[in-house]
Structure 1
């Protein structure tokens, strides 16, 4: 009897955790956002590189991002329950970079290093 109760509890725990895991996976979205870099070292640039590392993850809902400076894209992994793709694009714009159809915020663009501007 005691053994069957423990088995039932273990089974319910497994069902509960697997259900939560599946629902968490559904909220993670991936998006590739086109941008434009004016220099060949933005990822390593003292100003821009640091901005990418700190500010990108401050945009609410972003779990992880990858910057491909050769393809000039951001691959963003985000929680769709916490943010929208448009909000992320606007956040990138506030860093001084284009994000698909959302142009870089002029003030943020001006704060970039000279090598990172056209």
Structure 2
């Protein structure tokens, strides 16, 4: 009797943790956003590189990002319950960079270092 109750409790607890794990997986989305970088050192640039490190993670819901300066893409991992792809693209635009079809904010673009502009 005790053994079957213990098994039932273990089963319920296991199902609870598994369902939470599965639901957490569904909320994390991955998106690849095309941008245009005018220099070959944006990740290391004192201005731009620092801006990426601080501003990208300030976007609500963004968990992690990767900048591929060769492919000119951002790979963004984000919580779809806290943000959406359009909001992320607009935030990148406000940093002065294109984000797919969303063009860089002109004022933000002008604030970039000279090497980062065309």
Aligned to 2:37: 37
Query: Which residue of structure 1 aligns with residue 102 of structure 2?
Result: 102
Per the normalisation by structure 2, the TM-score is 0.95
Deviation of 1:33 (Å):
0.6
Tell me how large the CA RMSD over aligned residues is.
1.0
Superposition pairs of residues 1-118 of structure 1, within 5 angstroms: 1-118=1-118
Runs of 4+ that moved beyond 2 A: 1-7
Per-residue deviation, residues 66-95 of structure 1 (Å, max 9, x unmatched): 100001000111111111110000010011
Structure 2 residues not aligned, in runs of 5+: none
Distance 1:64 1:13 in 2: 30
Secondary structure of the corresponding residue to residue 17 of structure 1: helix
- Count of residues paired in the alignment: 118
Structure 1 regions of 5+ residues with no counterpart? none
Rounded to whole Å, the distance in 2 between the matches of 1:109 and 1:6 is: 62
- What SS does structure 2 have at the residue aligned with 1:45? coil
TM-fit CA distance, 1:54? 1.0
